Amino acid sequence: MQCLAKMKRTPNAVRASAVLGLAAWFILSAGCARVPRPPSLPPSPPALSAEELVARLQERGAAIQTLKAQFSIEATGKDIKGTQRMEAAMIYQRPNLVRLRTFARIGLPIFDLILINDRYQIKIPMQGKFLTGRVADLDRQEGLGPSILLGLQATLGNLNGTTVLPTDHLRLREAEGLYVLEVIPSEEGVAVARRLWFDQGTLELVREELLDSSGQTLATVLFQDYRPVGSTAANAKGQTVAIVRPYLVRAEDANGRAKLVLTYREIVSNPSLSPQDWGVPENEPLAGFPRLSSHAGVVSFLRPFLAGNRFMQTDD
């Protein structure tokens, strides 16, 4: 009788199990329906050739014709006594005209540098020195030379896009979401080789290494905290693009002679520049002022005046 009772209950148990299973399926189905789908990932950026990457970078660099910047510098290293902190102001006109001035915290000028193409002229008031020569030779100047060269590499960095000569050899690869571009000059000793890391999404320069002829690193520069710097410009295709600049730059000499941290407070892109920005007194005749619209005009205008003040004398 007990076996018969169990047999009679078996169909009910089966039906109950089926009902419970069906209910569980509906509950699970409803729960799954409420789970949002994961967002679709954006497509990977298209692969670029080295030449295409350089073309885009140079197009972006052309959006900045002039620039003014104010920033602080913290300098340490074997060639620097303790930790030196100073204020700096830079003026730039494309392609290779720069004025860089640094001041102690109490306002005393440390040096005033003008860079025209591959030549520099430095005035160091506290030491009564006027130095002139080629930028490549700054590394051999005693005292401030290596630190100034490292500072130029940090401040100019990607300001011109990527300066590449038609004779340079290019190699491009991808690594961890970055483009790694190697720029190797065709003539040894004319310029240093460079290895540059670019964000694949934004094409912003995040790291630069300067290399000697054997491939050893001479200096490393990191570019961080990119921000818009005001105005926008149209590229060759007529598209409006934002101009951004890094507000934090870290540079280090491989030999430990100098280590710099540049923290920018203000960057203004494409401001109008006057002769006074380049150190010409306000009472100086400005007959050549209209020529300041071009880089060649600035150079021709500055040379006679500054050479007469011993600041732009050259050793040619």
For residue 304, what pLDDT is reported?
55
Query: Would you give the DSSP letter of residue 138?
Result: G
Q: What is the pLDDT along the chain (316 residues), one digit of tens a residue?
A: 444 444 445 555 545 555 555 454 444 444 444 555 555 555 555 578 999 999 988 888 888 899 999 999 999 988 788 888 999 999 999 888 899 999 997 788 988 999 888 888 888 888 888 888 888 787 776 667 778 888 888 888 878 767 888 889 999 999 888 999 999 988 766 667 899 999 999 999 999 999 888 888 999 999 999 999 976 756 566 667 788 999 999 999 988 888 999 999 999 999 999 888 887 766 554 444 344 455 565 566 566 545 544 444 434 3
Q: Give yes or no for a contact between 302 and 278, defined as CB atoms under 8 angstroms apart.
A: yes
pLDDT in tens, 259-275: 999 999 999 999 999 88
Considering the domain 54-308 in this protein, what is its CATH number?
2.50.20.10
Longest dimension (CA), the chain: 126
Q: Is 252 helix (H, G, I), strand (E, B) or coil?
A: strand
Residue ranges of alpha helices (H) inside the chain are 2-34, 50-61, 145-156, 295-308
For residue 54, what pLDDT is reported?
92
Q: Please enumerate, as own/partner, the contacts of 178-187 that have beta carbons within 8 Å and a separation of 24 or more.
A: 178/206, 179/48, 179/53, 179/203, 181/50, 181/53, 181/54
Element (H, E) at 113: strand 109-116
For residue 233, what pLDDT is reported?
57
Is the pTM of the predicted complex or chain greater than 0.85? no
Domain ranges of the chain: 54-308
> What CA–CA distance (Å, rounded) separates 76 from 71?
17
Beta bridge partners of 312: none
Q: Give yes or no for a contact between 249 and 63, defined as CB atoms under 8 angstroms apart.
A: no
> What CA–CA distance (Å, rounded) separates 90 from 101?
6
Q: Please enumerate, as own/partner, the contacts of 87-92 that have beta carbons within 8 Å and a separation of 24 or more.
A: 88/155, 88/262, 90/155, 91/66, 91/67, 91/273, 91/277, 91/278, 92/64, 92/66, 92/67, 92/68, 92/156, 92/159
Q: Which two tokens stand for residue 292?
A: 């300041």
